[in-house]
Chain A
Amino acid sequence: MTKQSNSLSQGTTPPIFPVKTKIQVTVIFFVVIGVYLFSMFWTQQQMVGGFGNAIGNMVVVIEKFFPPNLSILPAIWDPMAQTIQMAIIATTVAAVLTVPLALLSAQNITTFKPLYYFTRTLLNILRTIPDLVLAVVFVGLFGIGLFPGIIALIIFSLGILAKLISETIEAVDMNPLEAMRASGGNILQVIFYGLVPQVLPQFTSFVLYVFEINIRASVVLGLVGAGGIGLVLDQQLGFYNYPNAMAIIVLIFVVVLVIEYISNKLREALI
């Protein structure tokens, strides 16, 4: 205390942060900048003409995309509808399959530890694989079409959904459940009357959230042959028909925005 008043009277304010923190932050800052510069160098090394050329080129190429050829909208509506249907089916199946998985990976329900760790690890591994990579593998397995796309979406959303819901289950109030068990409820009764009412609003909200993710994922699945609007986009890009491609991109943009808006409103109403 006295020391501080001394330093104040001498007119020097004590530093807000200790010197050690300052050095640490500076070192981390320079490392981050260094890695960034190196990354920029590395990713640009195969580029022809360098950065300046690319910017000029970008304007020329973006102009090719405009104006989008909106007259093809009626023709591309069918694949777009298919894409949405894929997402709906995948989300529904995932929502059903996720129930046992989420229960198995919730620490307070699955008291048998090895089983809990097994499902947890499985879900963790599942979540590391990007959706399109799954789609590539399933297209190899089932051939080109909607089916591999749906399977890829199911597996992908299962990983996210099961994790989110198992965390919700872990956060529930266990007292009513214990009271039910103490008064003679069997495990199914406990789950139905104790757990389900506590989890249901969150569950619905997460399913809608995953549906949004699935919509975004499903519009691009076609790029690897897994059906939907992406397939048409891939073809149009292959023909260098950029106005048509831009029309598809605009449609995707609008559909994603609309569905996200509806889903957001529903989720707000739920919680």
Chain B
Amino acid sequence: MATYSLPPKKEQSSFKKFKKIFILLAVIALYVWTFLGIDIDWTRAVERAASNFHRVIPKLFSPDWAAAGEVSQKILETIFIAFAGSFMAAILAIPLGFLAAKNMSRGKLLSAIGKWILSAIRAFPDIILAILFVVAVGPNAFAGVLAIAIGSTGMLGKLYSEVVESIDMQVVEAMEANGANKVQALFYGVLPQIIPEFLSYAIYRFEIDIRASSILGIVGAGGIGTMIIFAANNRNWNEMGMILLAIIIVVTIIDFISARIRRKIV
């Protein structure tokens, strides 16, 4: 009878073994730190949940239709904030995207600066930007627009720069060899290659911005978030149910339309 055995395992270098053990120890240390550090008042949370459950959950599922008018007006404002913000970002991100792209400038310095600016912008959560702009321009929807515009520029700029880096440079070289100047090469060599993907990413970012702008109102930057915070403070969970329903519907519709358009463009 033949004996079955597994093929021999690959020899691992001691450096790799050491690295594995080190990572394992680091992860264990991280978890020990986490579970020792966190303190959750379990009894209080369970008590609260037990007493609040029937007051909150059933009401969330029976939305207050009387608030539908106000909710739809605010959700429209949310869409406007997201649209204006995404549009500004789609424009603002173009120069930054080109700046950060490695193949658009000779030296490495410019693209490094561009990448650094973009990742710095991305490190700010949208809502922190909203706080800054609410203080600057007052608690209104325009603060939300500015927050969305700046916040989206970080991500769009990065995506744009990746698109620019992935273009076929041979076309551009051929044009320059034929005597086209920089502007002509940009317009006829670079732009046709990047416009569909730029558009697609801008629309994709609009999807994300709809979600983002729906919470900006929590810090006073307009949109449906204003109603969320009022409903929560007044414990008006029926109204909260209506707001949640509106957000779910609007986000689903916009995701659907945007996915359709993006599939058509690219």
Contact = CB atoms under 8 A, between A and B. Distances in A.
Interface of A: 32, 35-36, 38-40, 42-44, 46-48, 51, 54, 57-58, 61-62, 64-65, 81-82, 84-86, 88-89, 92, 124-125, 128-133, 136-137, 139-143, 145-148, 150, 216-217, 219-220, 223-224, 233, 237, 242, 245, 249, 252-253, 256-257, 260
Contact of B48 (A40, A141, A245): A141
B83 A36 contact: yes
A129 B252 CA distance: 10
Contacts of B138: 47-48, 54, 57
Given A129-B244, A133-B247, A43 B81 contact: yes
A120 to B, nearest CB: 13
| Chain A residues touching B, majority SS | helix
17 contacts: A36-B87, A39-B80, A39-B84, A44-B141, A46-B141, A47-B137, A84-B34, A85-B38, A128-B248, A131-B215, A133-B244, A136-B228, A143-B52, A147-B41, A150-B40, A242-B135, A257-B123
Contacts of A125: 248, 252
Contacts, number: 180
Contact of A44 (B87, B128, B142): B142
B131 interface: yes
A18 to B, nearest CB: 15
Contacts of A145: 40-41, 44-45
A141 B53 CA distance: 6
Contact of B40 (A129, A131, A147): A147
Nearest to A58: B136
A65 B222 CA distance: 22
A132 B215 contact: yes
Contact of B80 (A42, A130, A133, A141): A42
Interface string B156-189: 0000000000000000000000000000000000
B235 interface: yes
Contact of B211 (A32, A47, A128): A128
Nearest to B255: A128
B128 A128 contact: no
B32 to A, nearest CB: 11
| Chain B residues touching A, majority SS | helix
A42 B141 contact: yes
Given A39-B81, A133-B244, A253-B124, A224 B232 contact: yes
A43 B84 CA distance: 9
A264 B29 CA distance: 20
A86 B37 CA distance: 10
Contact of A85 (B34, B83, B132, B248): B34
Given A140-B235, A145-B45, A82 B244 contact: no
B30 interface: yes
B78 to A, nearest CB: 10
